[in-house]
Structure 1
Amino acid sequence: MPFAVYLLALAVFAQGTSEFMLSGLVPGIARDLHVSVPAAGLLTSAFAVGMVAGAPLMAVLSLRWPRRRALLAFLLTFLLAHVAGAVTPGYEVLLVSRVVAALANAGFLAVAMATAIGLAPPDAKGRATSVLLGGITLACVAGVPAGALLGEVWGWRSAFWAVAAALLPAIVAVVRSVPAAPADLHGPTARGESRALRSPRLLVLLLLGALVNGATFCTFTYLAPLLTEATGIGPGWMPAMLALFGLGSFAGVTISGRLADVRPIGLLVGGGVALAAGWAAFAMTAGEPAPAIVLVFVQGTLSFAVGSTLISQALYAAAEAPTLGGGFATAALNVGATAGPWLGGLAIGAGLGFRSPLWVSAALVVAALVVAGAAGTVGRAPRGVAARP
């Protein structure tokens, strides 16, 4: 795998840290900016909405840009948004900065996916995708806890400054490692790439990615109250449990990187069935610490192994539209990341308890399996992939 792909993952790590770190900073932001906790929580929703809307929009806007220029523009915008957020005295500016950062993040991911699969060998889209998504999983393992620690010690603004600082080596890496290809004025257009995105197979794969990612974040969002209230694990163990889930997610993208290009069918079918069964088993055994601890790691692994493979298969299916394909893949992931917690919250609000998001996660994965079976999508490999069931 070209070294530039790993450097792109460094930028994804910094951006992933920013996306998830607010969960530990909301109380401090609310106190400092004199707003309610729900209002501070809207900053997370604003970022998610910006990611969903921004991924295809930014992909279209950057189609005719040289990829290095597009990557640098998105990274610099993301950095400046965090500087603005770190120095603002008002909530409104911080809210706008989160939306701008999300748009830049979405655009970067779309172009980075297209760049990574362009730099990788033709039959290694799965590996390239897993390397990029590995940056997000490392953010869950290391970046988010570090941001929470900074917020505790030096205040929430220090976490924003840290993300901005972490982007500087990524910017240098992009300048030095991503080829400076000139803009292709006769290259793909938005209309041309949009035609390539009409493939029914691609649309089904994007739906499956949204369902599986929705299941992942449905439970991950409420993992702390689930483990403290239903399982009885002390609050002091929550950073370790979140890190354990993050380690599982890193293992999952590593597995996907090794198998997604050569055995996607077996990984998706076997992993999908195991994932649905795992969420159900977690719901039934959540009252016992030992199985809960094991399943936190196992479900993190399965979730990201299956999810990463679905995204890489979507990129294979969108081979004639790499930039918009990456944009819509990013949007699909964030649709799931937005809808999953909402559905889990509805279940909890209905009085079904903190185990209920686990059942919702199981139902979402079962829905994905039903859709895949009905469409016949998982049962055949895309052209150009040496898939062996």
Structure 2
Amino acid sequence: MPLPVYILGFVIFTQGTSEFMLSGLLPNIADDLGVSIPDAGLLISAFAIGMVVGAPLLALTTLRWPRRTALVALQAVFIAAHVVGALAPGYGVLFATRVISALVYAGCWGVALAAAVSLVPAGARGRAVATVAGGLTLATIVGVPAGTLLSQYAGWRAAFWAVAAATLVSLVCTVFAVPDGRGAATPGHSAATELRGLARPQLWLSYAVTAFTFGAVIVTFSYLASLLTDVSGVSEGWVPGVLALFGVGGLLGIAAGGRLAEAHPMRTLGWGLVGLLAVSAALALTARHAGVVVALVFVLGFVAWVTNPALQSRVFALAPGAPTLAGAGNTAAFNVGNTLAPMLGGAAIDAGYGFASVAWVGAGLAAVGLAAALVAARAGRRTPPSTNGPAASTAGQAPEPVEHATAPRTA
């Protein structure tokens, strides 16, 4: 992979740490701000709401901006929001900073993915997407546990300061390493062209699969620290290590998924969802057995992220005429799941079903996602590749053909 693709992964790493670190900070934030853990969990939903809105909005706003300029500006706002968050006097201010951070983070995702696929040949797009998204899995291995550990010794606000500092480093790297190409470099390419490129039912079905798949992951991950300490009996000091184990599984999953998605995207997605359903159910059934739960957290990380490259690269094949908005729409879809899933998990907890119930919610969402993936697989056999829009890719390459999707086999 070219160096700029790795830098784009680092950009996502620094900001992705903030996206996921609240899973380990919720107890401290709840105590400090005087709110319940489910209410603190709404900060995760606030971030997701910002990303749902920000992904398409910032994609359109920055469509004709030089990519490096867009990334630098968005990261600067992200840093400022985290400084304000670290100084927040109460829950309301912190909630607002989470929404603002998510808006610009969503913009970074859209620009970073479009830039990455423009820097590599068509056949390497799955690996390029996996490299960028790998920054997020690395955040769960290093950033999230480090933030949790830091919060235990210096308070949750210190984790926000650390994210701001790390993002400043990624901003400097962006200035020196990322090409200053334009998002709409192809003649005649415009926002209207991108919008026309989205007019395909298969693309929106793919977005639905993305939302359910990621929702199935995030609903369990959001309350994982509380499940570990309150149900499984894991001591608070071990929580960062278990969260890191989730990240290690995720890093292996996304590495495997990046290669499998190039040859068998729908099969990879289908079997990943089967695994996600099974692991979520197993977590709910064995939540009181710490050793089993710790092992399952690693497997959960793997099955959660093995689907990511297929989910990401598929939309570029389905909408070659909308390389920026297609990726931004998928980012929004991820965060529809990220918005609704913690709310569903919080509702289950408030109803008195306990922290283990969130894993059952995850299993249910995975089942719906699997059903949607099977529908997409069958529709993919009947639907010819899209030719919407004049731009096949941000690099001016020919569009990848839509795969002849294959549903997971039972034998």
Whether TM-score is above 0.5 comes out as yes
Whether contact under 8 Å (1:211, 1:367) holds in the other structure is yes
Deviates more, 1:375-384 or 1:241-250: 375-384
- Could you tell me which amino acid in structure 1 is paired with residue 72 of structure 2? L
In the alignment, the residues of structure 2 paired with residue 311 and residue 272 of structure 1 have an alpha-carbon distance, to the nearest angstrom, of 15
Whether contact under 8 Å (1:269, 1:378) holds in the other structure is no
Report percent identity of matched pairs: 48
User: Mind listing any 5+ residue stretches in structure 1 that lack a counterpart?
Assistant: none
Shift of 1:374: 2.8
Deviates more, 1:79-88 or 1:10-19: 79-88
Alignment of 1:139-150 (within 5 A): 139-150=139-150
In the alignment, the residues of structure 1 paired with residue 232 and residue 94 of structure 2 have an alpha-carbon distance, to the nearest angstrom, of 36
Alignment of 1:175-186 (within 5 A): 175-181=175-181, 184=185, 186=187
How big is each residue's C-alpha offset from its partner over 1:293-317, in whole Å with a ceiling of 9 and x where there is no partner?
3221112101111133212212222
Deviates more, 1:8-17 or 1:155-164: 155-164
2:307 aligned residue: 306
1:223 aligned residue: 224
Whether contact under 8 Å (2:27, 2:226) holds in the other structure is no
In the alignment, the residues of structure 1 paired with residue 199 and residue 69 of structure 2 have an alpha-carbon distance, to the nearest angstrom, of 28
Whether contact under 8 Å (1:151, 1:158) holds in the other structure is yes
Matched, 1:384 2:401: yes
1:11 aligned residue: 11
Per the alignment, do residues 295 and 85 of structure 1 end up closer, same or farther by CA in structure 2, a change over 3 Å counting? Answer: closer
Per the alignment, do residues 28 and 241 of structure 1 end up closer, same or farther by CA in structure 2, a change over 3 Å counting? Answer: closer
How big is each residue's C-alpha offset from its partner over 1:45-98, in whole Å with a ceiling of 9 and x where there is no partner?
332211111111111111111211111111111122223333455665444333
Shift of 1:208: 0.4
1:267 aligned residue: 268
- Could you tell me which amino acid in structure 1 is paired with residue 368 of structure 2? A
Equivalenced residue count is 388
Shift of 1:41: 5.2
Secondary structure class of the residue paired with 1:286: coil
Per the alignment, do residues 178 and 89 of structure 1 end up closer, same or farther by CA in structure 2, a change over 3 Å counting? Answer: same
In the alignment, the residues of structure 1 paired with residue 402 and residue 162 of structure 2 have an alpha-carbon distance, to the nearest angstrom, of 41
How big is each residue's C-alpha offset from its partner over 1:147-190, in whole Å with a ceiling of 9 and x where there is no partner?
23333333443322222221223122222222123574945322
Per the alignment, do residues 46 and 344 of structure 1 end up closer, same or farther by CA in structure 2, a change over 3 Å counting? Answer: closer
Shift of 1:28: 5.4
Whether contact under 8 Å (1:261, 1:387) holds in the other structure is no
Whether contact under 8 Å (1:204, 1:375) holds in the other structure is yes
Shift of 1:13: 0.9
In the alignment, the residues of structure 1 paired with residue 96 and residue 251 of structure 2 have an alpha-carbon distance, to the nearest angstrom, of 31
Secondary structure class of the residue paired with 2:64: coil
Secondary structure class of the residue paired with 1:181: coil
Shift of 1:209: 0.8
Secondary structure class of the residue paired with 1:124: helix
Per the alignment, do residues 286 and 114 of structure 1 end up closer, same or farther by CA in structure 2, a change over 3 Å counting? Answer: same
Secondary structure class of the residue paired with 1:319: coil
Whether contact under 8 Å (1:63, 1:188) holds in the other structure is no
Whether contact under 8 Å (2:270, 2:373) holds in the other structure is no
Secondary structure class of the residue paired with 1:373: helix
Secondary structure class of the residue paired with 1:260: helix
In the alignment, the residues of structure 2 paired with residue 274 and residue 177 of structure 1 have an alpha-carbon distance, to the nearest angstrom, of 38
Secondary structure class of the residue paired with 2:262: coil
Whether contact under 8 Å (1:66, 1:184) holds in the other structure is no
Shift of 1:40: 5.6
TM-score (norm 1): 0.89
2:45 aligned residue: 45
1:344 aligned residue: 345
In the alignment, the residues of structure 1 paired with residue 42 and residue 222 of structure 2 have an alpha-carbon distance, to the nearest angstrom, of 15
How big is each residue's C-alpha offset from its partner over 1:234-293, in whole Å with a ceiling of 9 and x where there is no partner?
444322221111111111111111211122133122222232223233333334344323
In the alignment, the residues of structure 2 paired with residue 148 and residue 87 of structure 1 have an alpha-carbon distance, to the nearest angstrom, of 18
In the alignment, the residues of structure 2 paired with residue 377 and residue 205 of structure 1 have an alpha-carbon distance, to the nearest angstrom, of 12
In the alignment, the residues of structure 2 paired with residue 158 and residue 76 of structure 1 have an alpha-carbon distance, to the nearest angstrom, of 19
Deviates more, 1:290-299 or 1:373-382: 373-382
- Could you tell me which amino acid in structure 2 is paired with residue 304 of structure 1? W
Whether contact under 8 Å (1:197, 1:325) holds in the other structure is yes
Matched, 1:256 2:257: yes
User: Mind listing any 5+ residue stretches in structure 2 that lack a counterpart?
Assistant: 386-399, 407-411
- Could you tell me which amino acid in structure 2 is paired with residue 307 of structure 1? N
Per the alignment, do residues 267 and 228 of structure 1 end up closer, same or farther by CA in structure 2, a change over 3 Å counting? Answer: same
TM-score (norm 2): 0.85
1:82 aligned residue: 82
Secondary structure class of the residue paired with 1:376: helix
1:291 aligned residue: 292
Whether contact under 8 Å (1:141, 1:243) holds in the other structure is yes
Give the CA RMSD over aligned residues.
Answer: 2.7
Whether contact under 8 Å (1:217, 1:337) holds in the other structure is yes
Matched, 1:279 2:280: yes
